[in-house]
Structure 1
Amino acid sequence: MNWNLEKYMNLYRHEEVFEERFSLLMRALQYAGEPEEKATVFVEMIAFFFVSEDLQKVDELLAFLEDNNFFLQNVCYYRGLIEDDKGNLDGAEELYYKAIDQDENFNKPYFALGFLYDRKGDFEKALFYYKEYSDMLGEKGLEDPTVYNDIGSIYIDMGYLEDAKVYLDKSLANDPNFFRALYNMGLYYYKKGDNENALAYYERTIDAEPFFMNSYLNISAIYIADERYDEAIEVLTRGINKNPSPDLLYNRACSYAKTYLYDRALDDLKRAYHYDKDIFKYAIKDKDFEAMDLRGIFEGGNDDIY
């Protein structure tokens, strides 16, 4: 690789500003003479355009690599990601395996397979590929808080709580503000029956990512179970101010109804209904709203509904 090309590629890899990264890639491409050198830049461009969701550009660059027989492991991997995004998990799975066949030391498809099997509910395979990916990083002296968290999350789902904590601790040791690991640590403590620590970690999750609604929902669930409805309403209100999702609105409506604030409960149900018409199906069966004439309000296209 010529010196100028190498310089700009190194600058690109260490640049954190998204817009500047593309500019550096274009500078690198100016110095890429041989097809092999262009292919090196194109691999990074594919990653850039994939994150930017410009799949047409991704496809054009993949076609160049494929036609010239360069970096076929990357071709298979990114085509797998595209199929994954379409919901074609079987097609994605096949392409990820092809990427590994092209280069068994290429670590990205191992993580992709772990994530795929995690979504399929095949936890044993998911753990295998996540750990393979983690081990491959470890051989290079690298760690990834995301994969530690994902392993911990699977162990929680499997009921292996102490195994989960080992990996969640590793994740947070690498990134103390990684909100998914903080959230899962809250879930760990909740399942252990330690609501005090669960609440503390859910609050830390909110500090790290205030738009993640599950944190507010889980805190409110603990308060509601203890009949601490005012505190549940407060935390749900905080969440609604960030992200007025139907789930948050519905749960606050439940808390209002439990404290006989039926007008406020109805206001929240109307707002939730505006976002999700299926809310009505759940609300008319919910014991929290038995004292309210929901059927008369929600049926027949009532003009009072937002």
Structure 2
Amino acid sequence: MTEQTYQYYLNQKAVGAHYLEIGNPMKALEHFINAYQTTYGCEDLDLMLELAFLYDEVENPEQAIAIFSQMIEVDPTFPTSYYGLATIYDDHEDYERAIYYYQKTIELDPEYETAHFFLANIYDELGDNQKAIAHYEKTIEIDPSYYYAYINLGCIYEAEDKNLKAYHYFYRAHQVNPADYTALFNLGVACRKLGQVKEAIRYYRKSLGANPQYAFTYLNLALIYKEVFEDYEESIKLYTEGIKYNPQMSVLYYNRACCYALLNEFEKSLDDIQIATQISPSLLDYMKSDDELVQVKKLPRYQAMYQ
């Protein structure tokens, strides 16, 4: 290997890094490939790692898999090679292979927190809650500030109706990131299920302050005013605000229609029903058996449209 060839390898690697830094992945890829095709490049794990992730970024997973596989041949003890393969198979929902490579990553580096986290995600997706919980807990043990590990643990326990545990993890997530709406929203969910209505309202309103565009916060908060306080006017205000940010969210129109019906504003109710069922025709069957809309269904306009 001549000095000129070695210098060429270094130059191509540096130019590729420059293009990557300024946000031009295709030019970066071109120069990293040039560097990789030298004798030095095909054994440079850092270069190969950049190249593999770039191939994945530009939607060429086959080449990414080939590079990660070669990295394993160069150094079978480098955990990120296995992690990279795992993420590609994970993205393509090949969960069996993804699990295998996440596990290989963890065997080589038991403290690889993102491998634990994404392995937990797969088990969560597959409904294996025990394994999901174990790997989310390990993620937190390694990195106590891993926000979404707390969120996902809380969601598992909330789905199991273990609402005190759910609250615990959502609150810990909130402590990690007090400004994020996700933990605040989920704290509202947990408090509502625990019967702590005032606390649920407080968290939902704080969540809206953090993110006024999230449709389900309006939905859940409005339902409290409707079901607990029978304050249909406040519910309508919330649904209307939610619709402003989410004009294609059919359930907001549908639930507002129910509140209008309860206030005997049947024509307004029917207007919302029409919009809701145009957006989501699947609501038609539910609507036909909804007792709150009995009077609306007597309107000639309703009968002309739906009967």
- TM score, norm. by length of structure 1: 0.78
Identify unmatched segments of 5+ residues in structure 1: 85-90, 301-306
Deviation at 1:156, TM superposition (A): 2.4
Per the alignment, residue 304 of structure 1 pairs with none
Residue matched to 1:125: 131
Cα distance in 1, alignment partners of residues 204 and 96 from structure 2:
34
- Whether 2:271 is the aligned partner of 1:262: answer no
Q: Once the two structures are superposed, what CA deviation does each residue of 1:212-258 show, in whole Å capped at 9, x if it has no partner?
A: 21111110110111210000000011110001201111111111111
The match for 1:230 among 229, 233, 240 is 233
1:15-30 matched pairs, under 5 angstroms: 20=23, 22=25, 29=32
User: How much identity, in percent, do the aligned residues show?
Assistant: 22
> Which residue number corresponds to residue 69 of structure 2?
66
Q: CA deviation at 1:4?
A: 10
Report the Cα offset of residue 279 of structure 1.
1.3
- Extract structure 1 runs of 4+ deviating beyond 4 A: 1-12, 21-28, 30-33
Separation in structure 2 between the aligned mates of residue 28 and residue 135 of structure 1, nearest angstrom: 40
- Aligned pairs for 1:132-171 within 5 A: 132-137=138-143, 143-171=145-173
Query: How many corresponding residue pairs?
Result: 279
Counterpart secondary structure, 2:201:
helix
Q: Distance in 2 between matches of 1:2 and 1:185?
A: 52
SS in 1 for 2:143: helix
Q: Does 1:288 align with 2:292?
A: yes
Instruction: Kindly provide the amino acid, as one letter, of the partner of residue 157 in structure 2.
Output: Y
1:297 aligned residue: 304
TM-align CA RMSD: 3.2
1:81 aligns with 2:90: yes
What is the CA–CA distance in structure 1 between the aligned matches of 2:139 and 2:31, rounded to whole Å? 29
Q: In 1, distance between residues paired with 2:19 and 2:197?
A: 47
Deviation at 1:66, TM superposition (A): 2.4
Paired with 1:107 and 1:81, the residues of 2 have a C-alpha distance of 16
| Residue identity in the other structure for 2:261 | A
Q: Which shifted more, 240-249 or 208-217?
A: 208-217
Letter in 2 for 1:267: D
Are the structure 2 counterparts of residues 43 and 170 from structure 1 closer, same or farther at C-alpha, using a change threshold of 3 Å? farther
Q: Secondary structure at the match of 2:213?
A: coil
Deviation at 1:40, TM superposition (A): 2.2
How far apart, in 2, do the equivalents of 1:166 and 1:218 lie?
Answer: 20
Larger Rg: 2
Is 1:109 aligned to 2:115, yes or no? yes
**TM-aligned CA distance change 1:7 to 1:74, over 3 Å:** farther
Specify every segment of 5 or more residues in structure 2 that has no aligned partner in the other structure, as ranges: 1-8, 74-79
SS at match of 1:293: helix
